[in-house]
Amino acid sequence: MEDQNKKPEETNGFTYDQEKRDDPYADVRRESAPYTFGPFGPNQSYDTNGQSNPDQPARALDVTPTSTKEYRPFTVSGGPARNDWGNKPPRRTSFRAIFASFLVGVLVVGGLMFTADRQNWFSSELLGGTTQVKDTSVKAASNPIANTSDIVRPNNIATIFKQSSPAVVKIETFANAPKSSGGGMLDDDFFRQFFGDDSGSSRGGNNDDSKGELQPNGMGSGFIFDSTGYILTNQHVIAGAKEIKVTIEGYEKPLVAQLLGSSYELDLAVLKIEGKEFPTLKLGDSSSLNMGDWVVAIGNPYGFEHTITVGVLSSNERKISIQDTAGTRNYEHLLQTDASINPGNSGGPLLNLKGEVIGINTAVSTQAQGIGFAIPTSTITEVLEQLKSNTKIPQKPAPFIGASLTDVTADIAKRLGLDLETKGSFVTEVLFNTPAYKGDLRQYDVITGIDNTSYNTSTDLIAAIKKKSVGDKVALNVLRGEKKIDVTVEIGDKNEFQTPTK
């Protein structure tokens, strides 16, 4: 009830100032007001109970819309008002169009990537990259071999083979056929009258091996390094040959070759064929190669003529030893490569990417794959002139005593009547006119040391001898039966003796 009796101006505890305030903008505000106050205008009269007085004449209110603010219907953000809710939604993009756009993008990007790779956009000097390397090689026939290096592999292998292959030759050797040692049917006089004296072994011991029938003895490779017919190959390719024939590409028949000079120690030989204007290969510098550089081998492995294999230089300065019927070949300064080298490749060239010879293919490891060896041109060029002129090649002194040795075993010690625990080197043979022979070292002696220094194995003893200098005198501590004696021996040079020994 109290609320109903309150005056309007005291509503909610607030009073309003009924005094008319001085408002200079009142007229302007009234003229621009866009809204009215509803049915109760500002001049509507009220009675004491808060009811409107209808008897009072209502004043007409002129409402003038403002021109300063534009009101629009409520619209979706980012677009105009839509009143077409009943219409169909806009058509979506089809999958075919999306897929076509994807394919176009792939083609464009792929084309750009291919062009950038082929044109070398991202490795040009302007972008700070590496430039494409171009090497030019000159063959002895003055035909250059261009080498454009590729990221994966060299791309001029076919060119190298085409220009180098004609200078690579196949070498075939022939030796005397083995003759019957006697006791055969053809040694009987009765059969001789039917087959002639030329059959079997001739009587009187006057048969000449050089006149016997020749049979194939071996096969290898080589290459022409001089247009007048000089050929370089391995010594083991032509060892023991009575006749040497060379097959050259483009020639109908093999040519007979003459052996000019050879070196067993270096495993090198030079042959000569008659003719001129032969295709040649240039000797390059093997010392300029780096590990991992590409190399090319050409030869006749197992008779497959002009076979090319490709690899890299795996290492250099390798040392290996190979036993053969004539002794032990001790190789030094060899190049190692994983280019395939097989029997028949021996004597063939190992080339760099300029088409230059940097080595002669010589050996391959039989216990592994991809381990081949070549004699470097740095070794070849030092002795090439001596080989061509058949001049003796100066050799490094090789200290030796001239005896064949083996380790003393318990069985050998028992047979010699020695203590079974005896250690040393058993002398199986003393070669004639060697330092051991001259010093009175005998077969079946046991060498226990040198100058009172014990060596329990023949390997240790030989190593100690090789450390000596030619001309040094040493005292060999020897067991001869039950006696202990010293045998004085002057160290000799193995190169002065034709028969290889330890």
Nearest to 333 by CA among 316, 358, 351, 349: 316
Q: Where are the alpha helices (DSSP H) in 42-138?
A: 95-118
Longest dimension (CA), the chain: 178
Domains of the chain and any CATH numbers: 399-496 (2.30.42.10)
Phi/psi of residue 361, each to 5°?
-60, 130
Nearest to 267 by CA among 239, 303, 231, 230: 239
Report how far residue 67's alpha carbon sits from residue 64's, in angstroms, rounded to the nearest whole number: 9
Looking up tokens 């190789």 gives 331
Please identify which of the residues 137, 221, 236, 458 carries the catalytic annotation. 236
Report how far residue 379's alpha carbon sits from residue 362's, in angstroms, rounded to the nearest whole number: 13
- pLDDT tens readout for residues 462-491: 999 999 999 999 999 999 988 899 999 999
- pLDDT tens readout for residues 69-114: 454 544 444 444 445 545 555 666 677 888 888 888 888 888 888 8
pLDDT score, position 475: 94
Residue 280: count of CB within 10 angstroms of its CB: 21
Phi/psi of residue 472, each to 5°?
-70, 145
Chain centre distance of CA 317:
17
Per-residue pLDDT tens digits of the chain, which is 502 residues long = 444 444 444 444 444 444 445 555 555 454 444 444 444 444 444 444 444 444 444 444 444 444 444 545 444 444 444 455 455 556 666 778 888 888 888 888 888 888 877 777 765 544 444 444 444 333 444 455 655 555 567 888 999 999 999 999 999 999 987 665 455 444 444 434 333 444 444 444 444 444 568 888 889 999 999 999 999 999 999 998 999 999 999 888 999 999 999 998 899 999 999 988 899 999 999 989 899 999 999 999 888 888 999 999 999 999 998 888 877 888 999 999 999 888 888 999 999 999 999 999 999 888 878 899 999 999 999 999 999 988 777 777 889 999 999 999 999 999 988 888 899 999 999 999 999 999 999 999 999 999 999 999 999 999 999 999 999 999 999 999 888 999 999 999 888 875 444 4
Mean pLDDT score of the chain: 76
Please identify which of the residues 267, 314, 425, 445 carries the catalytic annotation. 267
Cα distances from 254 to residues 169, 172, 345, in angstroms, run: 10, 9, 18
Per the annotation, the verdict on 267 as an active-site residue is: yes
Q: If DSSP codes are grouped into helix, strand and coil, which group holds residue 496?
A: helix
Report how far residue 441's alpha carbon sits from residue 402's, in angstroms, rounded to the nearest whole number: 10
Element (H, E) at 280: none
Report how far residue 108's alpha carbon sits from residue 115's, in angstroms, rounded to the nearest whole number: 11
Please identify which of the residues 346, 425, 445, 458 carries the catalytic annotation. 346
Chain centre distance of CA 422:
50
- Helices and strands per DSSP (H, E), number in the chain: 10, 22
The pair of structure tokens assigned to 181 is 């040692």
